[in-house]
Chains A and B, each alone.
Chain A
Amino acid sequence: QSVLTQPPSASGTPGQRVTISCSGSSSNIEKNYVYWYRQLPGTAPKLLICRNNQRPSGVPDRFSGSKSGTSASLAITGLRSEDEADYYCATWDDSLRGRVFGGGTKLTVL
């Protein structure tokens, strides 16, 4: 059971907007930065969003992150077939004194 809760799956059609939620608590998301990663099968995770809503260089502006209280979300607009992947949220947990990940969301582009 992951400390951060993500829906196991999400889907959308090309061009659509999709959001993936990440629910935590006052000891993790509320007090610390949230990061989002995308992982294609057989490859290493890639950073999509850092510090709640910052896009690293090279990440398209179709990807955006937000945080409110103990929850965070990743939004993808203009969905493309290549966005089909697993998405993970992560943050630091002050009580556990460790980094925690969500269980991952498998995004399907229909």
Chain B
Amino acid sequence: EVQLLESGGGLVQPGGSLRLSCTASGFTFSTFVMNWVRQAPGKGLEWVSSITGGAERIFYADSVKGRFTISRDNSRNTLNLQMNSLRAEDTAVYYCAKAEYTGSDGGPGYWGQGTLVTVSS
């Protein structure tokens, strides 16, 4: 059974940093694109970043480029999101999502339960 468990969310001041992690199980982690998608309170879904299985290709939304860094440790089945220079508008539930298919089509299939990040003074 596929499981994705996010951790690391919490309250942080504007300008601060936070590191999110997503621990995966139930599938061959290294063969799937992994994604971070966020949802601000009462708003829709917003894609944040994607990373291919071997980390050969990494993509970011313009809203987080230069501030967030996605990474993965295939030996530990873990996906990470380092978030720096956080702003109030980064406040959201952050979901880790596994691609539905192996290969280049990274469309999210299974989603974790999410972790809440609140940026506020």
Give the size range of B's interface with the partner. 20 to 34
Of A16-24, A39-47, A71-79, the segment with at least 4 beta carbons within 8 Å of chain B is A39-47
Q: Which residues of A contact B (CB under 8 A)?
A: 2, 33, 35, 37, 39, 43-47, 50-51, 56, 86, 88, 90-92, 96-104
Nearest CB in chain B to that of A86: its residue = B44
Q: Select which of B44, B50, B107, B114 is within 8 A of A35 by beta carbon.
A: B107
Contact B100 A99 (CB under 8 A): no
* B88 interfacial by beta-carbon distance below 8 Å: no
- Most A Cβ at <10 Å: residue of B35, B95, B111, B112: B111
Once A and B bind, how many residue pairs between them come within 8 Å at the CB atom?
Answer: 72
Residues of B within 8 A of A33 (CB): 105, 107
Q: Is the interface of A mostly helix, strand, loop or mixed?
A: strand
Q: Is the interface of B mostly helix, strand, loop or mixed?
A: strand
A45-B45, A88-B45, A98-B47 as given contacts; A50 in contact with B109, CB under 8 Å: yes
Contact B109 A44 (CB under 8 A): no
Q: Select which of A47, A86, A100 is within 8 A of B108 by beta carbon.
A: A47
Residues of B within 8 A of A98 (CB): 47, 50, 59-62
Contact A47 B45 (CB under 8 A): no
Extra A-B contacts (15), CB below 8 Å, given A86-B44, A96-B62: A33-B105, A44-B95, A44-B111, A45-B37, A45-B95, A45-B108, A45-B111, A46-B111, A47-B111, A50-B109, A99-B35, A99-B37, A100-B47, A101-B37, A101-B47
